[in-house]
Amino acid sequence: MDLEPNNPPEPVERDIVTFGIAIAAIILLVGTAGAVVPKSLAVLFGNGEQPDPLLVNAMLLNIALIIFGWRRHRELTLEIAERRRAEEQARVLATTDPLTHCLNRCSMVDATNAVRAQAAIRGDTVAYCMIDLDNFKQINDMHGHACGDAVLVMLTERLHASLPRESRLARLGGDEFAFVTSYPLGQGERIDDLIIRLFEQIAMPFQLRERTIELTMSVGVASDHDADSGIGMVTDAAELMHRADIALYHAKKEGKNRFFWFENSMENEIRFRNQLETGIRRGLAQGEFVPYYEQQVDLESGTLVGFEMLARWRSPQLGLISPDIFVPIAEEIGLIAELSDQLIEQALSDAREWDDSLTLSINISPIQLRDPWFAQRLLKKLVAANFPPQRLEVEITESCLHENISLVRSIITSLRNQGVKISLDDFGIGYSSLEQLRDLPFDRIKIDRSFVSELREPGRRSNVVEAIIALARGLDLPLTAEGVEDEDILDALKSMGRLKAQGYFYGYPEDAEGVRARLRSAGKLNPLAPVISAQPDENQSMVRVARP
């Protein structure tokens, strides 16, 4: 039965009815026993009259009532003790984490306010530190949740041993912890030293019965006073936690295994990211993502041989945004596959207009290659667009080769069996081995622009580029050089052999209408392709949106 907060149940200590019955029974017993017991004793010794039966029955009833009252009192005592134990257990469960026995998220608010109040009395300030273990999910996935729980318990013990006595430690959930501690105003370096000691403790391997686990962590720190020791805008524990969470996010974004103090610019960055997330979701629904195309040219003859598709976002609010801004966010929020599907479908439709000698190159995210049905879905798109697979080239990065090499090999093989070409993109910046290059059926290697740019100075030769070219020759793999931006780079590459090149030297990436006009003037539009109405050109220049 639900009870209203303002109408709590009466405590069992107040069972006045039972108490009154017991007192009345004792009084009546005294009265009846005074009349019954002497006559009963006289009858027992053979020299008296029988006691009144009504008085005898009344005495027995009083005895029964006294026994009932005593038993009820004992039951009440046990019930009170049990209820107090249950209330204490409920309080513990409501305020502490059952695994690590430190505070939980709910009780951390009150604990933070208590520490702040004590610090204010001493004239100190407080630091709220939020801790998140890096890649902890992999431990649970690889070794099981029992192993992960054991690590969390050991971690809590190390944190308790390293933190000041007046600190309060909480497990907020999963692998996320927080602690609040006070320190003298203007001496934030004390917190820096404390966190560094915590990093040293976490860096020590966690020795379990059957295995050794190594961990790193990221930390975000917020104070309720600003850098010049004035009173900041923090008015409650919730705001302090929010700021520490923003600083933690910044530490994660900057590469993990580090800590940052909260700054106002971080909150602006979070707002900007949320704006981008909302914009990406809206843009997908409204078709704001469009393919742009960068020319690929035969280095020796200067002939146009194809285009690489590049993603652009025509945002009504932010302008034309380059993929290095929105692609990482789309990957994090799980929309990269939907985004890529839209762009590929549009690119295949655009490329149907081109001359049959021109190829289309598309980039594939490592996340997409985790899908075992990726090859089948891509081939289905080719069939739907009536696009020859021999004109399509799929570019994958070296990072894809280290997540699930067997799955990647299966996808590559399925695509090549249907005629699709496979290129290894950004070669040289990852960790591809010669064995992978020999065993995986690549059709082309692309030299990363960071190495090609070294050829900009006249007379300078890049040992890395020359080594890659020699390697490709040995493996009988054609090459594409990215980032050809001036004539000096072009001349240096020409002296190294026959290559395919792309870069701003040949022109900036263009949208479908720009490519259509270029090919029309060169006589390289497919006369049998259906006519596609041109979309209006809004003359938006490509901008790289700077974060606040």
DSSP track, 409-465: HHHHHHHHHTT-EEEEEEETSS---HHHHHHS--SEEEE-HHHHGGG-STT---HHH
Residue 530 is classified by DSSP as P
Q: Which of 482, 485, 487, 510 is an active site residue? A: 482
DSSP track, 102-171: SB-HHHHHHHHHHHHHHHHHHTEEEEEEEEEETTHHHHHHHH-HHHHHHHHHHHHHHHHHHS-TT-EEEE
Name, in order, each residue with C-beta under 8 angstroms of 341's C-beta and a sequence gap of 6 or more: 377, 381
Q: Are strands 124-133 and 176-184 parallel, antiparallel or unpaired?
A: antiparallel
Question: How many other CB atoms are there within 10 angstroms of residue 61's CB atom?
Answer: 14
Closest CA to 447 of 479, 476, 478, 416: 479
* Token reading at 301: 């003859």
Q: Are strands 479-481 and 500-501 parallel, antiparallel or unpaired?
A: parallel
* Token reading at 6: 């303002």
Do the Cβ atoms of 29 and 63 come closer than 8 Å? yes
Do the Cβ atoms of 357 and 304 come closer than 8 Å? no
- Where on the phi/psi map is residue 257: left (φ > 0), alpha (ψ -120 to 50), or beta? left
Is 482 one of the annotated active-site residues of the chain?
yes
Q: Is 441 helix (H, G, I), strand (E, B) or coil?
A: coil
Q: Is 290 helix (H, G, I), strand (E, B) or coil?
A: strand
Residue 182 is classified by DSSP as E
Do the Cβ atoms of 224 and 188 come closer than 8 Å? no
Distance CA 142, CA 321 (A): 39
Query: Which residue reads 């030299």 in tokens?
Result: 447
Query: What end-to-end distance do the CA atoms of the chain give, in Å?
Result: 55
Residue 282 is classified by DSSP as H
Write out the catalytic residue numbers.
482
